[in-house]
Amino acid sequence: MPNNAMTMIRQRVSWLLVAGVVALIFVSYGATPAVTTALLASTVRQSTPLVLGALSGIFCERSGVINIAIEGMMLMGAFVGFLANVYTGNLLVAVLAAVLMGAFMGLAHAFMSITLKMDQIISGTVLNILALELTGFFYQQGLTTQGKLTPVRIPVLADIPLIGPVLFDNPPITYLSLVLVVVVHILLFRTVWGLRTRAVGEHPKAADTVGIDVIRMRYINVIIGGMIAGLAGGYLTLEAVGSFERAMTNGRGFVALAVMIFGKWTPLGAWGAALLFGFANALQTQFQFLGISTIPHQFVGMLPYLLTIVVLAGFVGRARPPAAIGQPYEKE
């Protein structure tokens, strides 16, 4: 039920958000360059699982399948990646295991929502709960790993003040996520695959009548979406933390959905949105670092979640999701 006043408020809120963040960066860099650099570097890394989660959502939703299971896909990817690291000690194998697990979760979601034509939100919720139960059942305390992915410094570029340490001194999955943003954007808007994916998500019957296999397109997109969510999970255990904890995704999969919506279902837009959320997360850790205690840490901890709600409230009505989203395709 959008009306004019509501739209105006929405626009103002979002502009205020952006302007406020930019102003904050300049003021704080002037005052404390070291802290600001650390804050922004942390922002980029914190945004990695969110942008990957959002890309996962984009693959699924652009083809017409709601993916509320990003959280569960991430959690399973994180867990299996961690186990692979424990038992093989090979980080590359571990990342691949996380991606593979994600692909399997994607397949499960595709099967339930496309073939069984289950309500896609229920299907996603089932996967989320199953992921929570399964990782809880198989997780044993006291497993240790041989290290995690470490930052790779890109020579010369990393020496640029502020931008260098923020963008060019990151670990591999973070770099990969930046590359993926660009690649997926091109894939979606400049290639045959992208055109067909969008057609299937907007008007599956139209795609069907020109000979495109709707079911196959959706399956492949959802499985790719699962792989990227698995990679996001791998980021958590193999790059950010180095170990597994129960329910360690902590709602990031849902925040990623808000990131996707905020970015209007485009990879570049999602990247911008992810940075905003990454910043909210980074604030939290930096506050704790600096021992700022005037604000209770629980309130800072609420920030990403409140931000998600604000974004949903402000943007869902305006940004237009793919038209056929949520509807199983019936060939009559």
Partner 1 sequence: MRAEVVLEVRNITKSFPGVVANDNVSLTLHRGEVLALLGENGAGKSTLMNIIYGLYHPDSGEIIVKGEKVQLGSPREAIEHGIGMVHQHFMLVPVMSVVENVMLGIESTQGPFLDKRAAAEQIRQISEQYGLKVDPYAIVEDLPVGVRQRVEIIKTLYREADILILDEPTAVLTPQEVEELFEIIEALTAQGKSVIFISHKLKEVLRIADRITVLRRGKVVGTVRPEETDEQQLAEMMVGRSVLLRVEKPPREPGMPVLEVDDLWVRDETGHMAVRGVSFRLYAGEILGIAGVQGNGQTELVKALSGLKHAEKGHIRIAGQPVTNLAPRAFYELGLGHVPEDRQHDGLILSLPIKDNIILNTYYKQPYSENMVLKHDVIAETAKRLVEEFDVRTPGIDTRAGALSGGNQQKVIIAREFSRPIRLLYAVQPTRGLDVGSIEYIHRRLVEKRNEGAAVLLVSTELEEILALSDRVAVMYEGQIMDILPVDEATIERLGLLMAGVRDATRTAQTTN
Partner 2 sequence: MADAKIANGAPPTRWQRFAQAITIPLLAVVLAMLVGAIIIVIAGANPLGGYTAMFRGALGTARGLVRTFEKATPLIFSGLAVAFAFKAGLFNIGAQGQLILGAIAAAYVGFAFEGLPPFVHLPLALAAGMLAGAIWGAIPGALKTFTGAHEVITTIMLNFVAINLTDYLANGPWKDRSPGNIVARTPAILPSAELPSIGVVPLGLLIAIGMAVLAWWVLANTTFGYEIRAVGLNPAAARYAGMSVGRTVIASMAISGLLAGLGGAVETLGIVGRYQPGFNTGLGFDGITIALLAQTSPLGVVPAALLFGVMRAGANQMQLYGVDAEIIGIVQGTMLLFVSAPIIIRKLFRLRAPEGGEEVVLSTGWGSSG
Chain residues binding partner 1 by CB under 8 A are 3, 190-192, 195-196, 198-199, 202-203, 205-212, 320, 323, 331-332
Q: Residue 153 half-sphere exposure, CB side, CA atoms within 13 Å?
A: 7
By CB under 8 A, name the one of 4, 291, 296, 330 that touches partner 2: 296
243 near partner 2, rule: CB under 8 A: no
Among 87, 189, 193, 299, binds partner 2 (CB under 8 A): 299
Q: Which two tokens stand for residue 114?
A: 């496309």
Residue 326 is a binding residue for partner 2 (CB under 8 A):
yes
How many binding residues for partner 2 (CB under 8 A)?
48
SS3 state at 155: coil
Q: Give whichever of 166 and 199 is closer to partner 1, judged by the CB atom.
A: 199
According to the binding rule CB under 8 A, does residue 294 interact with partner 2? Answer: no
Return the residue of 8, 16, 116, 206 that touches partner 2, per CB under 8 A. Answer: 116
Please give the Cα distance from 4 to 248 (Å, whole number): 41
What secondary structure letter does DSSP report for 115?
A: I
Residue 60 interface partner, choices partner 1, partner 2, none, CB cut-off 5-8 Å depending on type: none
Q: Does 8 bind partner 2 (CB under 8 A)?
A: no
Long-range contacts of 127-131 (CB under 8 A, 24+ apart): 127/69, 127/72, 127/73, 128/68, 128/69, 128/71, 128/72, 128/75, 128/253, 129/72, 130/72, 131/69, 131/71, 131/72, 131/73, 131/75, 131/76, 131/105
100 or 212: CB nearest partner 1? 212
* Nearest distance from C-beta of residue 5 to partner 1, angstroms: 12
Please report, as residue ranges, which positions from 174 to 233 form the binding site for partner 2 (by CB under 8 A). none
